[in-house]
Chain A
Amino acid sequence: MIWIYAVGERPDLPLPAIAGLGGTVLESIPHGPLLAVASRHARSGFAPEADALWAHEQVVEAVMDQRAVVPMRFGTRVGDDAAAHAVLDAEREHLLEVLERVRGRVEFALRARRPSPAPAGSGRDHVRTLLGEARAAAALHDPLAAVAVEARRSDVRRAGELLRAAYLVDACDVAHFRRSVRLLEREHSDVALVCTGPWPAYSFVNV
């Protein structure tokens, strides 16, 4: 099995000096202007556990320090070299397009929770509660989306969750984005916020 960490540009550049999953040696699968960063394994996969997830992430970030990358989600793998080349060939235009879109940009993830209010007495009150939640979510999302190049909101929420979103931010706006998050945290003390990043642009690559 060949495990894929990322697809990047500049196949002429050497790979970063970092080990792959299970301490394996990273290898490059060049294909035209692209390369897949990969490692070879006898086993069929890795469970999504903390250490393995972090090892995958570290490889993607090390490659991202050198060049633009399309990060692959944990678990992306192909059977052999022929399969890897086939994917790179079929997706070539799309991958090149995505590389341009994420170049020099990072992702931040945000989740916001607020305790659910007591059940409403009337239909009208219930609608008012829902409207209040929608507005509270927008009050968090809109200022951050304004700093980001692109923003995505998840349609799905769990109980008590106001917002789940990802932001694609230009490297030069990262400090501005961080300040905006801290400001929101102070302004909305009734909301529990978790913001993580910077990440490779996992939510903006559609692969």
Chain B
Amino acid sequence: MTRQPQDKLLVRPPDLDAFGPSRRIDTDAGNAERGLAQLVLTIIELLRQLLERQAIRRVESGALDDETIERLGRALMALEQRMEELKRTFGLSDEDLNLDLGPLGRLL
């Protein structure tokens, strides 16, 4: 009985590419600046997601009034937009943010 990597796939969508791994942090000397931007933006993105989760928990607890929810929503949207701008500024895509260190583990 030989086992093959594809035997590990229990279910999959027709398009697997979207699930591909993150690119590794670029540590070539010439690209040190880009690698640093990648690292910093990854950390900012982790914090943004943390804030978002906490906000959702507060909304779900039912303790917030309509006006507060509207303000919270606008603040989260603004954060998301700002993150997109930063990624554009540094020429980084979502896959460049190293949220998943692949076989070596995860950042959080």
A155 CB within 8 Å of chain B: yes
Q: How far is the CA of A61 from the CA of B66 in the complex (A)?
A: 54
Please give, as numbers and ranges, the residues of chain A lying within 8 Å of B76 by CB-CB distance. Answer: 123, 126-127, 130
B11 CB within 8 Å of chain A: yes
Is B15 in contact with A53, judged by CB distance below 8 angstroms? no
Is A158 in contact with B99, judged by CB distance below 8 angstroms? yes
Q: A194-B19, A196-B8, A197-B8 are in contact. Are A73 and B104 (CB under 8 A)?
A: yes
Q: A196-B9, A196-B10 are in contact. Are A126 and B50 (CB under 8 A)?
A: no
Is A185 in contact with B56, judged by CB distance below 8 angstroms? no
Is B3 in contact with A182, judged by CB distance below 8 angstroms? no
Q: Mark A96-123, 1 if CB is under 8 A from B, else 0.
A: 0000000000001001010000011011
Q: A48-B104, A197-B8 are in contact. Are A111 and B56 (CB under 8 A)?
A: no
Q: Mark A155-179, 1 if CB is under 8 A from B, else 0.
A: 1111110000000000000000010
Is B103 in contact with A119, judged by CB distance below 8 angstroms? no
The SS class assigned to the A binding surface is: mixed
Q: For the complex formed, measure the closest distance between the CB of B48 and the CB atoms of chain A, giving whole angstroms.
A: 11
Please give, as numbers and ranges, the residues of chain A lying within 8 Å of B104 by CB-CB distance. Answer: 48, 73-75
Q: Mark B70-106, 1 if CB is under 8 A from A, else 0.
A: 1111111100000000000000001101011011111
CB-based nearest A residue for B81: A119
CB-based nearest B residue for A51: B5
CB-based nearest A residue for B70: A123
How many A-B Cβ pairs are below 8 Å? 112
CB-based nearest A residue for B24: A48
CB-based nearest B residue for A182: B11
Please give, as numbers and ranges, the residues of chain A lying within 8 Å of B105 by CB-CB distance. Answer: 73
The SS class assigned to the B binding surface is: helix
A195 CB within 8 Å of chain B: yes
Q: How far is the CA of A122 from the CA of B72 in the complex (A)?
A: 10
Q: A124-B69, A155-B50 are in contact. Are A193 and B5 (CB under 8 A)?
A: no
Q: For the complex formed, measure the closest distance between the CB of B22 and the CB atoms of chain A, giving whole angstroms.
A: 8
CB-based nearest B residue for A195: B10
Q: Which of B18, B56, B100 contacts A192 (CB 8 A)?
A: B18
Q: For the complex formed, measure the closest distance between the CB of A121 and the CB atoms of chain B, giving whole angstroms.
A: 10
Q: Which of A53, A122, A156, A185 contacts B103 (CB 8 A)?
A: A53
CB-based nearest A residue for B46: A156
- Show 11 A/B contacts (Cβ-Cβ < 8 Å), sorted by A: A73-B104, A75-B103, A124-B69, A127-B59, A158-B95, A181-B11, A182-B11, A194-B11, A195-B9, A196-B8, A196-B9
Chain B contacts to A: CB under 8 angstroms: 3, 5, 8-13, 15-16, 18-19, 22, 46, 49-50, 52-53, 55-56, 59-60, 66, 69-77, 94-95, 97, 99-100, 102-108
| Supplied contacts A74-B103, A120-B77, A123-B76, 12 more A-B pairs, CB within 8 Å | A74-B104, A123-B77, A127-B56, A130-B52, A156-B49, A157-B49, A158-B99, A158-B100, A192-B15, A192-B19, A195-B11, A197-B10
